[in-house]
Structure 1
Amino acid sequence: MAMENLSIQERQLNTIDKEYIAHVRKSDGSEQLLYDHLTGTAEIAKNLATKIGLPLSGELIGLVHDLGKYSQAFQTYIRDSITYDNYKDLDLDEDEEAEILLKGKPKRGSVDHSTAGAIYLYEQFENISTSRIDKITREKTKIGQGQLLADILFICVASHHSGMVNVVDKEGNRYLQNRKQKEEDKSHYQESLTNATNNDVFSHLDKKVKSATLKEFTNIIASLLVDKSSTDKQKDFYIGFYARMLFSCLIDADRSNSIAFEYPSQAHLLNYSRPDWQTAIDKVEALYDGFANKAKNSPPNPINHQRNLIASTCYETGQKAQGIYTLTVPTGGGKTLASLRFAVQHAKRHNLDRIIYIIPFTSIIEQNAQEVRDILEEKLADGSYVGDWVLEQHSNLEPDLQTWQSKLIMDNWNAPIVFTTMVQFLESCFGGGTKGVRRLHQLSRAVLIFDEIQTLPINCYYLFCNAINFLTSHANSTAVLCTATQPVLNSLPIEHNGSLNPATEIVGNRDQLTELFDTLKRVEIHDHTEKPKDLDSLTDYISENFDKYASTLVIVNTKIWASQLYQSLAESLPEDELYHLSTGQCALHRKDLLAQIRARLKQGLPTLVISTQLIEAGVDVSFASVIRFLAGLDSIAQASGRCNRHGEMRDENGNPTKGQVFIVKPDKESLSKLPTIKLGKEQMENHILPLLSQAENRDKHLLDPNIMTDFFRVFYITDFAKQQMAYPVKQTDGKSFGSDTIFGWTSNNSLNPAVDNDNASRLKNGQFPKLWQSFMDAGRAFKAIDAPTKAVIVPYGDEGRMLITALYGTQFNDKDFYKLVQKVQQYSVNVFPYMFDKLQQEHAIEQVRDTGIFTLSEKFYDEHMGLNTVGDSKLGFIEGF
């Protein structure tokens, strides 16, 4: 709509509204000019997108993402909201309003302000093409065309409030095409474009900028397409992942600019400069120098000798090229410190931004983070630390549908060394909405250390492998897969889905690995599964074992068995000798219990612990004996790592002796909700245990890395495993959508009729590559199938209760609220939806205003068991309140 075509009334409105605004600060009513928000967001997005080689694309999507706010409809809307003091969730678009209605919440007014910018960028690039000489074939081909760039830029801008939209949906509807054709009265495109042009928003955007943007994009896509090791399906996945990475840059830039305006006192939290890795290197090397000096004055210890060899190898490998590495080390081999030694060397060598530790369970985040923090930060007398090296992310406290406030308190991994969970990593890579994806760009230019990689959910195998392939080949990152039980991710059974790219083992070749495991063998494993045991038999069996060894750890597969055994044993054992651990306890509760357990073990006091499998992946405890319910070999090996962990056990003559591990089988066990454990258990019974009973294998042991490889190879070729690896999609009623998978929806969508009909023609018309993904459907299905948990803050201890009180008493715009949210993460328990609903029905949880943070009533939390849905808990640790 040209200015001369505006009505007199519209001209008067433009005269009155000389300044277009983007946001209004709720605390004092200050207005953020739209021009300032757009240019500020563009600057941040450009800097972030530089990491993935697309700075100009990042700048453009930042510049136009809120173009629709130049419409009179939006300006009237925002000013009415100010007038009526109803400035809430003003950035919701129509698509997100639909989500609100689906959840049964009341509809609030909104104005679409993202489609306009998306249409603008699409029109700038849709008809531009470029040619390039293929370095391998020397042929001139059309790749990286403007059409593909136009689609990617459109998706990024159109999606920045709803999460990435579909190109086509699961029913075959062409959502993206329809969104491009949105009517003027809903998109306000021409009106917004005219007003933005009059305000010099596009003053620097000329043909040279567009040409440079396309050239930069073409170079990126060309490097992807000439990769002969990737299938076409993988290349489609990588193109979609590029789009998601660029989208991440926009989301973080938009949110960060908004935070800086809304909460100026918190703006410093958004600033980030690459750390001085040499400082970290000096502190790590000082630690190892101390180890060396101590070893000179101590008797020879083969375990410490092997740990030093591992650490030395990590030091040397840290100087090598970026890529994928494996670090296969027996439990107790010092993986955390050795991997840190590798990471700081590697980060400096390649000028990287951060190190991210991805850990399977929140239960070991604090343990590992503290180990690193003790090295790099100064600990004060009150237990706090000075330094900004380490960030811990214990849980996800934001709601599924974010409020304006929750968007602002989002943690975006803005620290040199981050500890997070595999769940959060996968949510960032594949989850729906804008919550997790904001952090995704932080996975570029980083060292990614995956601890206990064998715990990776089997339905995420292909998604994970291809994400790592992308990050290491196209995003300047290095991945290290750490475990004592290395899964064979580089030879998965369905070839066209793509396995992990070749990895380099840091420790060495197969013979060196075998020697290492033989040297560090500290236990004997006994198979007592011949006769299944009921609750009474198991209680007697455990009691006899405890009488003999005085320190016994029992690891079960389900919370029900943990609870039953604990209660059964509690009838005859002193309270101070018996402990229970499960994910029903918050991280700090488990930490305190583990501290008590370690203290008793160190003093040689009788200690019996009943735990779910959360204790077997990386938790630093050492028992004389371990009893493990039958499960996969990887679980048994990890459980063995909690026995004689440091080789400290001695006989009466002072000679080294081995810990004792016993495998047992319960008579009844419901593993229907734990299919991976069930399958591992079956493969142990049917293949591995019979294999070891053969004469030629009797000199081998269960912890031999060759036996572990055999286990995974047998595991992967089962029908269940092959069906699960690409993340099969099911409806909410449990019925399958056919053969659809999330990996398919995020790659070439080959099972979608709308896509299949175009596949034959896309090469003819020069439109390869082209986007085909069902991004939004994939994001929703990923969360639905994964049965996402919700975090609830529990009243554990005096401080936990006081922090909950502080949450309700602190205003959101208070400068300390962000820090308060970080503190309460260690008081959170993740509960599944059915449990969350039950707690709501019992009025056991309450929301802190509209932040999406929930707290638990004290009578629903027990000092022994943790979360107690009955509501008759005994909180002995908060007496006095």
Structure 2
Amino acid sequence: PVPIFAHTHPDFQTDSSGWEPLFTPFGDDPEHCQREHCSKCEKLAANHGHLNKVAFWTARFAAEMFSPESTESKSAWDWGYLAGLWHDLGKYSPEFQGKLKGERIQIEHTGAGAALAKEQIPAWWETLGFVIAGHHSGLTNRRTKDSLTPLDDRATRASPMLENCRRFIADNLDEGLSQALQAFERPVIPERIGSGGPDAAFHWNCFIRMIFSALVDADSIATEAFASGNERKTKLRSQPVYDPIDVLAERLDTYLDRLRLMAGDTEVNRQRAGILQRCRVAAGSDSGFFTLNVPTGGGKTLAAMAFALLHVLTYRHKGMRRVIVAVPYTSIIEQNAGIYERALGPHNLVEHHSNLDDFNDQEESDEATIRRRLACENWDAPVIVTTNVQLFESLFTHKRRRARKLHNICNSVIILDEAQCVPVGFMALIVPMLRELVDHYGCTVVISTATQPAWRQVRGKPAFGIASERLQAIIPPDAELSRVEGFDRVTIQWPQTTTPLPYEDLARMLADEPCVMAIVHRKKDAQWLARKLTELRPAERVYHLSTNMCPVHRREVLEEIRTAIALHRQSGVPCRIVSTQLVEAGVDLDLPVIYRAMAGLDSIAQAAGRCNREGRMERKGRVVVFHAETLPPDGHLKRCAEITTSMLAEFDGQLDIRDPEIFEMFFRLLYRDCKPDAKDLVRHVTDLNFETLGKQFSLIDDTQQIPIVVIYDDEARSRLRTVQGIARSQSGEDVAARVAFRALQPYSVAVWPKGLAVLESILEPLFPGSIAKMLDPHLYPASYDPVFGLVTDDEPSIPPDRLIC
């Protein structure tokens, strides 16, 4: 037969002897493919068929999503193998082979496999059709037109392409592949999908996503291995490059024992030890949904990890293999990842979020670099620390790159840290997805909060949470930790009227406090208060935090704040901070007094978590809640503040944030007026409209905001130069943009159109055609204030020596 190829090789562009064959016939001969027992497929041998290797690895990835030896695992193996075997069938054409040889031809090759699936498996053909047709362009809709052609139309249009492939196969005497197209065992659809029950459409949607993920990862790994020449990536993929889970669990225990010996014998530390022990004991419980309600400062970051690692060990025989920690903000990731790295070793952990710098100038001869990049793409590491945005948007994405990791989310312990921050309007999708992962894909979910009980199902609102009988409490409700000595560390002073407190008066009150933080609703409020405090206390330090500052700038200021707080404890040097709510969830600060503008009860509890956090004070810390002159932004935050205000009126001006029933009431009132499917997306799940759902499922509504990259320091300038060089060398905007935003995200500030208009005359595009803009404060010093960050209005700057940041 005439040799047919899948890919050329970077080092053999014109010499086809170094190209990757498309298919290797099945058989017992050592040069043939032995399907699931094929050593050449397992090693991703360069001279072995691409379809064979991708089929092998897709099937393995798919089977590993389920318990070993289960019928689900066998079914997934069968679907995965066919997806891999047929995914590049369209390359069997004279046009595609001509393209490999340098002919300028535009040829679409993914539709043929989808058309074959429709012909050979008519009942459930879309299971393969979506996966194969989308393995480059992404999952499309079933019938509704979006930017991609709907699957039904795609398969119909690809029928002539399929016949063309068959003729080409016959003409080239490739009997092995001709048999492979028809002589196969028809895969069985899982019973929960085929039964036609009320959730069958959701089950099918998720199953398609998982097979799609397995195919995309397998195809990517096989292609990367072949292109690397020396199979370097293949070796890294197959070697045990991470420490085993039992080693990590033992290492964490050693680290925790060392911390215990170093810690003082205080009530807080005794309570932390008790929480850790409860987590260790609970790890042996049945897999499923768990709650971990621990007051702020209770050590839940490491206690939750201790539970997770031991739970993985308990269910390792069923395929459980990793821990995924999802948090609401990148600032928490950077903090938590540092803690986990010290405990487990940095090589065992992958940080994956929008601020992650996975861009550098290193050649991929650096094995650590290759491993890290691969793990960020497919989450093939024992511990992943990521954001809610990255986790949930990946679970509902239609894009191949984001979906690549999905099969590795299976068989994981998923810790949802600060779970109350997940947007309510997406619960109708997020809750069923978590149930799907727990019930059918071997996961355990830990709902970890410092407030009670954000995810407990509310009567009459099933979409908002998990049924109470399914929630296993790691800390029993009767423990009431927030009331015990050590965690009962603050007194809340509630406003006695709804009359707004003038900011002039607030500033004077803050000026009278030697160490205090005020948390306000809006960035302008924070700026005004910081300026006023500087006027009132010109010789003393004032710090400011808001999202007008790029992330690198904010990190620097937070480190200075921690130093200043420590200095205040030692010598009484005043320290005053004004911030927006960005400090409330997971930011490790410890102040004696907090002023908080009226907000949701959960936000007030989070603010209180920054007060007397370590219990060092002889007296309780103070949290002063006030009605601000300005209201929270319209929407969720404003509604939460209104509910707290109404509850205060009902309870005679006093609310006990230690009381679980108070939070039950708060969330019940919140959910009563909220829509769990605020964007009407559930119908796209049942209709198999993958593309439309993927585009509209966005936890952060930032579609109107434009990112501005601030050339804040020399590192930013260096990254920008390299990014611009990549952009000039790339033919596709998407590739350049992806690299650019990953590298420059720590230096970006998102602005609304009004703010953009103020700066437009001094902004430049990152590179030609880029939506993102860049700003150089060295050329325009007045545009980025060293205290307040990006200046988007006419407010005058003040000398930086008056405000230290």
TM-score by length of 1: 0.74
CA contact (8 A) 2:322 2:383 kept: yes
Consecutive unaligned residues of structure 2, counting only runs of 5 or more, are: 24-48, 66-72, 360-372, 731-735
**1:361 pairs with 323, 329, 347, which one?**
329
Instruction: Compute the displacement of 1:561 (Å).
Output: 2.3
User: For 1:556-614, what per-residue CA distance to the aligned partner results, in whole angstroms no more than 9, with x for missing partners?
Assistant: 22333223333343444448711122233333322221111111111113222222212
Instruction: Compute the displacement of 1:616 (Å).
Output: 0.6
Name the residue aligned to 2:681.
742
User: In the alignment, does 2:92 pair up with 1:70?
Assistant: yes
Q: Work out the CA distance in 2 between the residues paired with 1:564 and 1:27.
A: 64
Single out whichever of 639-648 and 62-71 deviates more from structure 2: 62-71
Q: Work out the CA distance in 2 between the residues paired with 1:64 and 1:202.
A: 10
Name the residue aligned to 2:349.
389
CA contact (8 A) 2:431 2:465 kept: yes
User: In the alignment, does 2:443 pair up with 1:477?
Assistant: yes
Name the residue aligned to 1:782.
697
Instruction: Compute the displacement of 1:868 (Å).
Output: 4.1
Name the residue aligned to 1:701.
656
**2:389 pairs with 423, 434, 444, which one?**
423
1:114 partner amino acid: T
User: For 1:137-166, what per-residue CA distance to the aligned partner results, in whole angstroms no more than 9, with x for missing partners?
Assistant: xxxxxxxxxx13x22111111122332222
**1:304 pairs with 269, 272, 284, which one?**
269
CA contact (8 A) 2:94 2:168 kept: no
Name the residue aligned to 1:712.
667
Q: Work out the CA distance in 2 between the residues paired with 1:275 and 1:204.
A: 43
CA contact (8 A) 1:358 1:419 kept: yes
CA contact (8 A) 1:528 1:664 kept: yes
Name the residue aligned to 2:621.
659
Q: Work out the CA distance in 2 between the residues paired with 1:152 and 1:840.
A: 49
**2:292 pairs with 321, 327, 330, which one?**
327
Instruction: Compute the displacement of 1:315 (Å).
Output: 0.9
Q: How does 1:333-482 map to 2 (within 5 A)?
A: 333-351=298-316, 352-377=320-345, 387-395=347-355, 411-482=377-448
**1:863 pairs with 786, 790, 798, which one?**
786
1:680 partner amino acid: C
Secondary structure of the 2:475 match is coil
Name the residue aligned to 1:676.
636
Q: Work out the CA distance in 2 between the residues paired with 1:210 and 1:389.
A: 40
Q: Work out the CA distance in 2 between the residues paired with 1:834 and 1:177.
A: 40
Q: Work out the CA distance in 2 between the residues paired with 1:398 and 1:787.
A: 23
Q: 1:396 to 1:629 in 2, by over 3 A?
A: same
Name the residue aligned to 2:715.
799
CA contact (8 A) 1:727 1:743 kept: no
Q: Work out the CA distance in 2 between the residues paired with 1:411 and 1:509.
A: 38
Q: Work out the CA distance in 2 between the residues paired with 1:203 and 1:319.
A: 51
Q: 1:61 to 1:183 in 2, by over 3 A?
A: closer
Name the residue aligned to 2:82.
60
Q: Work out the CA distance in 1 between the residues paired with 2:283 and 2:142.
A: 41
Q: Work out the CA distance in 2 between the residues paired with 1:254 and 1:46.
A: 12
Q: Work out the CA distance in 2 between the residues paired with 1:201 and 1:676.
A: 60
Instruction: Compute the displacement of 1:253 (Å).
Output: 2.3
Q: Work out the CA distance in 1 between the residues paired with 2:224 and 2:533.
A: 53
Q: Work out the CA distance in 2 between the residues paired with 1:323 and 1:553.
A: 40
CA contact (8 A) 1:45 1:249 kept: yes
CA contact (8 A) 2:272 2:299 kept: yes
CA contact (8 A) 2:118 2:126 kept: yes
Instruction: Compute the displacement of 1:547 (Å).
Output: 2.1
**2:190 pairs with 201, 207, 218, which one?**
218
CA contact (8 A) 1:431 1:783 kept: no
User: In the alignment, does 2:612 pair up with 1:644?
Assistant: yes
Single out whichever of 819-828 and 800-809 deviates more from structure 2: 819-828
Secondary structure of the 1:258 match is helix
Secondary structure of the 2:613 match is coil
Single out whichever of 286-295 and 313-322 deviates more from structure 2: 286-295
CA contact (8 A) 1:43 1:59 kept: yes
Q: 1:292 to 1:395 in 2, by over 3 A?
A: closer
Name the residue aligned to 1:831.
750
1:558 partner amino acid: R
Name the residue aligned to 1:103.
none
User: For 1:93-113, what per-residue CA distance to the aligned partner results, in whole angstroms no more than 9, with x for missing partners?
Assistant: xxxxxxxxxxxxxxxx84321
Name the residue aligned to 1:619.
587
Name the residue aligned to 2:142.
167
Q: 1:682 to 1:531 in 2, by over 3 A?
A: closer
Q: 1:122 to 1:856 in 2, by over 3 A?
A: farther
Q: Work out the CA distance in 2 between the residues paired with 1:545 and 1:781.
A: 43
Q: Work out the CA distance in 1 between the residues paired with 2:84 and 2:753.
A: 40
CA contact (8 A) 1:319 1:346 kept: yes
CA contact (8 A) 1:328 1:505 kept: no
1:38 partner amino acid: L
**1:556 pairs with 520, 523, 537, which one?**
520
Secondary structure of the 2:190 match is helix
User: In the alignment, does 2:108 pair up with 1:112?
Assistant: yes
Q: Work out the CA distance in 1 between the residues paired with 2:177 and 2:464.
A: 42
Name the residue aligned to 1:192.
165
1:801 partner amino acid: R
Q: How does 1:247-258 map to 2 (within 5 A)?
A: 247-258=212-223
User: For 1:726-785, what per-residue CA distance to the aligned partner results, in whole angstroms no more than 9, with x for missing partners?
Assistant: 132xxxxxxxxxxxx1122213xxxxxxxxxxxxxxxxxxxxxxxx32222222222498
Identity %: 27
CA contact (8 A) 2:464 2:671 kept: no
Single out whichever of 48-57 and 788-797 deviates more from structure 2: 788-797
CA contact (8 A) 1:20 1:34 kept: yes
User: In the alignment, does 2:14 pair up with 1:47?
Assistant: no
CA contact (8 A) 1:398 1:852 kept: no
Q: Work out the CA distance in 2 between the residues paired with 1:57 and 1:841.
A: 52
1:658 partner amino acid: K
Q: 1:346 to 1:409 in 2, by over 3 A?
A: closer
Name the residue aligned to 2:477.
510
Single out whichever of 855-864 and 233-242 deviates more from structure 2: 855-864
Name the residue aligned to 2:37.
none
Secondary structure of the 1:525 match is strand
Instruction: Compute the displacement of 1:845 (Å).
Output: 4.8
Secondary structure of the 2:433 match is helix
Name the residue aligned to 1:542.
507
Instruction: Compute the displacement of 1:369 (Å).
Output: 0.3
Instruction: Compute the displacement of 1:243 (Å).
Output: 1.2
Q: 1:704 to 1:39 in 2, by over 3 A?
A: same
Q: Work out the CA distance in 2 between the residues paired with 1:504 and 1:682.
A: 29
1:117 partner amino acid: G
Consecutive unaligned residues of structure 1, counting only runs of 5 or more, are: 1-13, 84-108, 127-146, 227-231, 378-384, 400-406, 651-656, 729-740, 748-771
CA contact (8 A) 2:590 2:610 kept: yes
Secondary structure of the 1:168 match is coil
Secondary structure of the 1:746 match is helix
1:612 partner amino acid: T
Instruction: Compute the displacement of 1:517 (Å).
Output: 5.9
TM-score by length of 2: 0.81
Name the residue aligned to 1:583.
547
Instruction: Compute the displacement of 1:174 (Å).
Output: 11
Q: Work out the CA distance in 1 between the residues paired with 2:217 and 2:707.
A: 23
Secondary structure of the 1:374 match is helix
2:677 partner amino acid: A
Q: How does 1:87-166 map to 2 (within 5 A)?
A: 110-126=106-122, 147-148=123-124, 150-166=125-141
User: For 1:153-198, what per-residue CA distance to the aligned partner results, in whole angstroms no more than 9, with x for missing partners?
Assistant: 1111112233222223289x9944333321545xx11112343574
CA contact (8 A) 2:510 2:533 kept: no
User: For 1:421-479, what per-residue CA distance to the aligned partner results, in whole angstroms no more than 9, with x for missing partners?
Assistant: 11111210123433422222221111111110000011111111111101111111111
Q: 1:862 to 1:803 in 2, by over 3 A?
A: farther
Q: 1:424 to 1:196 in 2, by over 3 A?
A: farther
